[in-house]
């Protein structure tokens, strides 16, 4: 085998140096050999003379619209929203972080969506519906908000989901009726006239829990048991049989009538004395004005008339009684009193 080497010089004493022309670029190292030269390129360059710069992004390693950034011989990818990984090839799993508070996460393209459970709403299902805002409870009940529901706390006399039903206190119970009424629901008025309480043909009128008697003429009392038209022969018996309270009423009425008659009599006497006092010319101290005693002349005249009326004997009259009407009139122009004026015989 023959090896041919390239030499130069007159005597072929010098070996040909292919690197003398510095064929390697960009700082490449040249190595000369029989066939020529070879370049050892620095990092970031390639080619026979290291003339080509290495571009790591030239092959578009970043996927899904990611942006490639070269760093010498390496690169990095800036991924679009929704993607991750060295080459942006992986879809981000947003649901892996459990973003939905009260719902189920579903990936939708490069995003996600929360499917809320009943009773919640919002982007992350974080807000609860307040079912009490619609005021579903009736009759002053209290609404208690629950998850996807509500509860009405009713007053004692109401029931139902919305407290709309009145709770009958007498349901499955026994009614205690007020006096005068009967029946399962106290719907019947007791007729107190069934026992015929009114005597002597009195008319009975039924009242709630009682009755009223309309008595015929001459009869009074709660049951028409008192007869007012007494006879002299039966007075003692009537008084004995009369109820005690009725007797007290009659005696009281008679006493009141007697006192009224006595007051009227005293007032009349005093008025007569005042009239006589006003028409007299005698001094005031000689007149009868204070109504403590009756004038002797007036008394004698009255006594004479009384004796003559009953036919009794009396001593001769010492006075001549002459009736005189004083000009003291009432509103209807009638004399208030007729005074008997006396004078010595």
In terms of domains, do 190 and 268 share one? Answer: no
Residues 288 and 334 in one domain: yes
pLDDT for res 10: 62
Residue 18 has pLDDT above 60, yes or no: yes
Domain for residue 172, yes or no? no
Task: Let me know whether 267 and 318 are in one domain.
Answer: yes
pLDDT the model gives residue 75: 87
List, for residues 37-57, the tens digit of each pLDDT value: 889 888 878 888 898 888 888
Write down the pLDDT at residue 285: 42
Number of folded domains in the chain?
3
pLDDT band at 130, cuts 50/70/90? very high
Q: How far is CA 78 from CA 87, 91, 228, in A?
A: 8, 14, 126
Q: Supply the mean pLDDT for the chain.
A: 76
168-185, pLDDT tens digit by residue? Answer: 776 666 778 888 888 887
Domain housing 297: 255-344
Confidence at residue 88, expressed as pLDDT on a 0 to 100 scale: 92
CATH number at residue 204: 2.10.25.10
Q: What is the pLDDT of residue 92?
A: 82
Residue 23 to residue 51: CA distance in whole angstroms: 10
**What integer pLDDT is reported at residue 303 of this predicted model?**
55
> What pLDDT shows up at residue 344?
43
Q: Give strand pairing partners of 91.
A: 83
> Which has more pLDDT, 288 or 279?
279
Asked if residue 191 is part of any domain, the answer here is yes
pLDDT at 186 over 90: no
In-domain check, residue 119: no
Q: Are residues 259 and 340 in the same domain?
A: yes
């Amino acid at each position: 085998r023959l090896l041919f080497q390239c030499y130069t010089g007159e005597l072929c004493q010098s070996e040909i140096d292919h690197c003398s022309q510095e064929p390697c670029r960009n700082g490449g190292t040249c190595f000369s050999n029989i066939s020529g030269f070879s370049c050892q390129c620095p990092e970031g360059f390639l080619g026979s003379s290291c003339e080509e710069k290495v571009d790591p992004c030239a092959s578009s390693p970043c996927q899904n619209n990611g942006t490639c950034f070269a760093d010498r011989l390496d690169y990095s990818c800036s991924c679009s929203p929704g993607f991750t990984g060295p080459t942006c090839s992986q879809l981000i799993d947003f649901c892996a972080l459990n973003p939905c508070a009260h719902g189920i996460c579903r990936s939708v393209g490069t995003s996600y969506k929360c499917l809320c459970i009943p009773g919640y709403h919002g982007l992350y299902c974080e807000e609860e519906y307040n079912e009490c805002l619609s005021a579903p409870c009736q009759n002053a009940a209290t609404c208690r908000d629950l998850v996807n529901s509500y509860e009405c706390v009713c007053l004692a006399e109401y029931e139902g989901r919305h407290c709309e039903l009145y709770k009958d206190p007498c349901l499955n119970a026994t009614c205690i009726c007020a006096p005068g009424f009967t029946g399962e629901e106290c719907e019947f008025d007791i007729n107190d006239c069934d026992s015929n309480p009114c005597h002597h043909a009195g008319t009975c009128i039924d009242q709630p829990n009682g009755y009223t008697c309309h008595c015929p003429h001459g009869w009074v009392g709660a049951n028409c048991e008192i007869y007012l038209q007494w006879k002299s022969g039966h007075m003692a018996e009537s008084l004995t049989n009369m109820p005690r309270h009725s007797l007290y009423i009659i005696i009281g009425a008679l006493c009141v009538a007697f006192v009224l008659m006595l007051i009227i009599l005293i007032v009349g006497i005093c008025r007569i004395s005042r009239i006589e006092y006003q028409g007299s010319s005698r001094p005031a101290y000689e007149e009868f004005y204070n109504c403590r005693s009756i004038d002797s002349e007036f008394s004698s005249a009255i006594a004479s008339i009384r004796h003559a009326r009953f036919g009794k004997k009396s001593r001769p009259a010492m006075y001549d009684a002459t009736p005189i009407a004083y000009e003291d009139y009432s509103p209807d122009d009638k004399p208030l009193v007729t005074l008997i004026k006396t004078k010595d015989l």
